[in-house]
Structure formats: structure tokens, C-alpha cells
Amino acid sequence: MKEEFKQEKERGRTLAFRLQELSDGLDVSFIADKLRQSCTILSHQTMLKTEYDLGLLEQVVDYVEGRNHLLDIPAISIYYYAFKCLRNAEDELSFIHLIEEIGTSVDLFNPSEKRDIFILAINYCIRKMNSGIASYSRIAFDLYKRGLEENIFIENGVLSRWTYNNAVVAGLKLKEYEWVEKAIHLYKEQLDRNTREDDFHFNLAKLYFNKKEFGKSMPLLALIKNDDLLHIVRSKVMLSQMYYELKEFDALENTLENLRVFVSRKKKIGYHKENYKNIIRLLKKLMNINPYDLQEKESLKNEIRGTSILTERQWFLQMVDAL
């Protein structure tokens, strides 16, 4: 549009040019870019616990809210609603609008933006699920399913191992075992070749673990060869859970000690370390609990619910209930 304006100016027809349209177009471009970047910043702010100066963002939001017709523009509406629910996890209405916009307008965006939009929506679902609202599991699963089917998550020809892993977890939460098994095999070849086999074996082992087919799960864990720290630790946790359910307590004791030493020595595990320490501590309590002491069982359940960082919370609660 700027080039068109320049040509018109050179022809002496500036007054006939649609200056208002140029101004409006520049506004829309700026607002959409500002909202998009703000969504990215908020996501990083949540993960890194760092505060950023968002500059003119509040004025931009006020401007949009004072001109509702701007929300008819997908480039603005999607990032506006994404920003609103990322800023305030309780703003579920904005998330509903975001999902509606994804359903009707996301195909208008380029592949990179589509991927970012899906991840923004999924991250909101994860926040709600972590706060105990299980209904968001279905929304997250549907987003993963569509994203995989339409190759939305592919970047530079590769599917992120984290997306692959998280999609499997989302399906397992809903007991969508048939879809999970199909997805594990179907999307394997899209993974980075350096970690492909380990990711494949780990997720297949996780599927069989959730189906209580431990005889199939354990051998797959033994096939994991890469030195990826989180795969190693997660495999040890899964093995510990299976030993507990099989009542192989000597093997469980050895595995927990091995896990404790491994976690304490590895500095690169970062914030995951607290989670694994909690798992070890609670598994030891679960092993030693008196199954006939109702008060002790209830006390352990309260401790499990009150442990803020605990990825295996539901499994622990199920095990206490099964005593």
C-alpha cells in the first residue's frame, strides 16, 4: 500500500488516494503484531517468572475494546482473546471465543502463526488442568489431534518430541487408547531421527503402562538408549510405579534408591527435580502405609493433594484408594 501511495503521489493524485484506508491498515498491522508479541511475552513470563514491560499494550487493548468492529478481523481477534485468557486464567469466556476463532479463522494464518496459536490455546488448557479442571483435557486433546492431522505442529520438517509426548499424555488422560496407539506409530517418522526411537519406545511403554500391560511396557523401557535426562528419569518413575502395582517391593526399593541418587547428582534437571523428589518421598510413604488405618490413608491423600508439584497425582490417589 505504501508503494501504491508513492506512485499516486508521483502522479500528482495524492488527494484522490485512500489515505484513510492506508492509516487503518497500518493500525490493524500494528495492533495485531503488538497483541501477538504480548502473547509470546506472557507465555515466557509465566515459564521464567520474569516481569516484562509491555509498553503500549494497555492502550492497544483499550483501543480495541472501544472499537468492537476490530474484533471482526481475525488477526486481531485471535490474539486479543489469547492475550486476555493468558493474562487472566479465570477469563474462561475469552478462551471460549479463542476456540471459536480457531475453529473458523485459523486457516487464514501462515503455518508458523497457526502453530503458535494452537500452542497458546493448549498452554491455557494445561494451566486449567493443573488447577484441577479436568474438562480442559478434552479441549487440549482435540487441539493436539487436529494439529497432528493437519501437520500444524511441523517445524522445519520435524515434529517436536515434546508435542509428540504431550499429545500421547493428553490421549491417555481420556483413555483414548486406540487413537494413542495409532498416533504413536503414525507420527513416529516425523520426529527428529536422533531421538526418534527413544521417543517411540517411551510413549509405547507409557501406553501399555496405562493399560496395565506391564509385561509389554517394561521391555520397551529397556530399549531406551539415548542419554536424555528426562527420558531416563521418567522411565525410572514408570518402572517404580509398575513394581509397586506388581508388589515387587525389593525391586521397587532398589529402583527408588537408584532414582534418588540420579536426581540428586544431575543439575540439569532444573525445576523438574522437586517433582521427582516428591514422587520418591510419596512412593516410600505409600509402601509403608497401614492399609487398615483409615486416618493414615486420609492423611496421605491430603498430602498428595497438597503437594503443589506432582505429575503423578492421580496415580497416587488411585493407589491409596485401592489399599
**For the residues 252-272, what does the mean pLDDT come to?**
83
Give the three cell numbers for residue 187. 507420527
| Res. 43: pLDDT tops 90 | no
pLDDT of residue 6: 59
Number of residues that make up the chain: 323
Cα–Cα dist 81/35, whole Å: 9
Rg of the Cα atoms in the chain: 25
Within 10 angstroms of residue 192's Cβ, the number of other Cβ atoms is 14
- Write the DSSP string, 163-205: HHHHHHHHHHHTT-HHHHHHHHHHTGGGB-TTTHHHHHHHHHH
Q: Quickly state the pLDDT bin for 34 (edges 50, 70, 90).
A: confident
**For the residues 2-25, what does the mean pLDDT come to?**
59
pLDDT of residue 92: 86
Q: Are 205 and 166 in contact (CB under 8 A)?
A: no
| Res. 135: pLDDT tops 90 | no
Q: What is the pLDDT of residues 299-321, one digit of tens each?
A: 999 999 988 888 888 899 999 99
Q: At what angle do helices 161-173 and 177-186 cross, to 10 degrees?
A: 170
- Helices marked H in 49-135 — which ranges? 57-65, 74-87, 92-105, 111-130
Averaged pLDDT score across all residues of the chain:
85
Would you say the C-alpha torsion 65, 68, 74, 75 has a positive or negative sign?
Answer: negative
Would you say the C-alpha torsion 100, 103, 104, 109 has a positive or negative sign?
Answer: positive
Would you say the C-alpha torsion 160, 162, 165, 166 has a positive or negative sign?
Answer: negative
Report in angstroms the alpha-carbon separations of 309 from 121, 132, 149, 233, 241: 22, 13, 32, 16, 18
Within 10 angstroms of residue 187's Cβ, the number of other Cβ atoms is 22
Q: Is the pTM of this model over 0.85?
A: no
Q: What is the pLDDT of residues 156-169, one digit of tens each?
A: 999 999 999 999 99
